[in-house]
Amino acid sequence: MSKRPLVTTEKRNRRTEKIDRLSTLDMVRLINHEDCLVAPAVGKESKTLAAAVDRIVEQLRQGGRLFYVGAGTSGRLGVLDASECPPTFGTAPRLVQGIIAGGRRALVRAIEGAEDYSKDGAATIDGKKISHRDVVVGIAACGLTPYVRGALRRARQIGAATIFITCAPEAADSAEAEIVINPVVGPEVVTGSTRMKAGTATKLVLNTLTTGVMIRLGKVYGNLMVDLKATNEKLRDRSIRIVMELTNLSRPAARRLLQKAEGKVKPAIVMHFRQVDLTKAVTILDQCDQSLRKALQEKS
C-alpha cells in the first residue's frame, strides 16, 4: 500500500473543503489565512536551520560545494536559489548548484515521472563528482520522492554532508540525512498541491540557508551585499550606493573609486580606508579570510 495518503502534505484540508463555493474575495482571504501559517512553521525550525547553516559553512570552508536536489516545485526552488547566489554574493557558479529531476527541461515543463527512480538520483550525485567535502540538500515536500532519497543515500555513502528539507513530519524520522529541516505547514489549500504552502516554506528555508551561509562567509557587511557582482544597471547603482554609505564619499567620488577597484565593492572599501591600491586591497582581504569587517578592524 502506498504511504502517500498518510502523509500530511497529501491530506485533505478541512478548512478549505468548500473553497469553490466562496466568493472570490473570501476565497483569496482563505488562501492568505493558510499562507499565514507558513512563517511560524519555519520559525519553529530555527535551531535546526542554524545547525544546517553552520554545517554548510564548515564544508564550504574546506573547499566543498553546496548542491540542492529536488523534483518538480522543490527542484525548481533549489535551482532558483542557487542561480541567485552569484549575482547577490559574488560566488562562483559551481559553489551552489541546483539539481532537478528531469534536467533543464523540467524547469519549464512538468516531467513528473522523472522523480520516480532512486537510481537516477544516485547517478546524478556520481555525475557531479560529489565528494566528502560537499553538502547535498535533498528537498521533498512529501518526503517520499525516490529521486531525492536516492541522491541523499548516495551522498551519505560518499561521506558528503547531508541535509533534508520536508514538510511531512511522517517522513522526517526515516530521512537518510544528518540534519532534517521539517516545517510542518499542514494540508494544502488544494489537496496535494505542494506548490502552495509547502513551496512557500521551502523558499523561506532556502533563503535562510544561503543568506546565513553567505553572511558567515563574510559576503555581507552589516546588511549590505558587499560581494555583489554588478552585472546590470540596477546592481551598478547599488554598488555605488553601498560605497557611498560606508565611506561617506560623494556619488562621483564613489564611482571613481569603484572604477579603480574594477567594480568590486569590497576591495574598493578597503582601498579607501587602508589607503592602498587594488592589488594590496585584495591581498589584505585574502589575509582576513575575505572578511571586510576584519580587514577594516586591522587598519593600523
* Contact criterion met (CB below 8 Å) for 261 and 272: no
* Maximum CA extent, the chain: 71
Is 45 labeled as catalytic in the residue annotation? no
* Contact criterion met (CB below 8 Å) for 67 and 97: yes
Is 188 labeled as catalytic in the residue annotation? no
Report H helices in 117-162: 118-127, 146-158
* Contact criterion met (CB below 8 Å) for 75 and 99: yes
Sorted by sequence, the CB contacts under 8 Å of residue 87 that are 6+ apart come out as 228, 229, 231, 235
Instruction: Name the catalytic one among 84, 176, 178, 245.
Output: 84
The one-letter amino acid at 118 = S
Instruction: Name the catalytic one among 10, 34, 115, 188.
Output: 115
Grid cell listed for 294: 576584519
Strand ranges inside 59-201, DSSP E:
66-70, 96-100, 135-139, 161-165, 179-181
Distance in angstroms (rounded) separating the CA atoms of residues 196 and 189: 8
Active site residues: 84, 115
